[in-house]
Amino acid sequence: MKPIVIFLFFILCSSMSVFGQSKETLNLEISNLKAQVQTLDQKNQELVVKTATLQKDIEFLQRQIDELKAQRLASPVPPASNNSVPSGYPTVPSTQQAPPPPPPAAVKTTGQYGRCRATTQKGTQCSRNAKSNGFCYQHDGV
């Protein structure tokens, strides 16, 4: 019976040293965690300040929007014969896209039949000399 007790005592002692952590290791981990908490607290405070600043900026911009709306309502736009906006009146950006620019004017080349009438993938006129049908060798069948 004595050998079994000694054996169990030996296993218990060895398992504590293998699975347990020393006080120094735990203290080191605690100090590392405290440093991380301090860093996170500092970052949190910075974010709180930034949030407050952004909130003030939003309030300022909202006041400006309200003032512009009040000015717009106070001075209605007279019907205009053209699309110009009176000076001093706030303009609203158009949601419509501008029409695409017209294709460049054909430039005469020294070829017998002029320049190819085909349009390239870029949207410009082909720059090659045309054959009798008005197209170059590449755009002949198109």
pLDDT tens readout for residues 80-129: 555 555 565 556 555 666 677 766 655 444 466 788 888 888 888 888 88
How far is it, in rounded angstroms, from Cα 14 to Cα 7? Answer: 11
Question: Hey, what amino acid is at 118?
Answer: A
31 within 8 A of 23, measured Cβ to Cβ: no
> Within a domain: residue 7?
no
pTM of the model: 0.36
Q: Is residue 130 in some structural domain?
A: yes
Residue 43 is assigned to a structural domain of this protein = yes
Number of domains the chain contains: 2
CB 61 within 8 A of CB 68: no
For residue 118, tell me if it sits in a domain: yes
In-domain check, residue 80: no
The model's pLDDT over 34-81, given as tens digits with 9 standing for 90+, comes to: 999 999 999 999 999 999 999 999 999 999 999 998 888 887 665 555
Range of the domain at 62: 37-75
Across the range 18-32, mean pLDDT stands at: 81
**Residue 22 within a domain:** no
Does 51 map to a domain?
Answer: yes
Is 1 part of a structural domain of the chain? Answer: no
C-alpha to C-alpha distances, 3 to 9, 88, 130, nearest whole angstrom: 10, 102, 109
| pLDDT of 30 above 80 | yes
Quick check: 116 and 134 in contact, CB under 8 A?
Answer: yes
Taking alpha carbons only, the member of 140, 133, 129 closest to residue 107 is: 129
